[in-house]
Amino acid sequence: MNKTALVTGAAGGIGSAAARFFAREGYNVVINYRHSKDAAKALEAEICAGGGRALVFQADVAIEAQVAAMFARCAAEFGGVDVLVNNAGIAQQKLFTDITQADFDEMFAVSVKGCFNCCQKALPYMVHQKKGKIINISSVWGVCGASCEVHYSAAKAAVIGLTKALAKEVAPSSIQVNCITPGIIATAMNASFGFETLESLISETPLGRIGTPEDVAEIILFLASEKADFITGQVIGVDGGFH
């Protein structure tokens, strides 16, 4: 029976690239989105047209009841989730003194609570199966921090901490939990950077270019594979040497 991969925030960027890669490898793919219905449905159609199997599910990962419904649907359709990719996130550039309580709460709700909610719902099946893969998408800013993105950097650092602790807790069940910290990637989320900012970031990247969603998806696919069965609790940078 084919394995099932659930990718949160899969309607574009890194998430959609990962979904395509999983479909290419024969996985059942669950495409989660919050707002981008048209993009999610288009991705589903693309995967199915290529002979793959995909399921689209709208859910706000910060809301436990919606996450529970999504995993219940996965269980009904595919038996459970073998690979969870916690990719959903938001970005915002603001001076620290301008960040509101609402800004801070939403940032942590999506990036940290969303990751927490999905891990909690995925683990019972994985523990029962005595195997599973959880791949959390953080950011290079979660490692080194970014000016004018304090709440984003802090939330992504929290994802790293969650990854390391959870990896130790579920290792006896042969479940691997790892984290990827992308650098500057060509996604809609980073489209708000101005030309001068992007040029500066590229100049600080030893490999001298912006990364692609596919650069990150390749590592996601590797960590989901049996080749990575002895890798857990790790933070893997895909950043062109930025950090």
The catalytically annotated residue of 27, 33, 125, 152 is 152
Asked if 132 and 122 count as a contact pair (C-beta separation under 8 A), the reply is yes
Is 152 considered catalytic here?
A: yes
* Alpha helices (runs of H) in the chain, residue ranges in sequence order: 13-24, 37-49, 64-78, 101-108, 114-129, 141-144, 150-170, 195-203, 213-224
Asked if 242 and 185 count as a contact pair (C-beta separation under 8 A), the reply is no
Backbone angles phi and psi of 155, in degrees to 5: -65, -40
Q: And the tokens for 85?
A: 């990719």
DSSP 58: E
DSSP 112: I
- Active site residues per annotation: 152
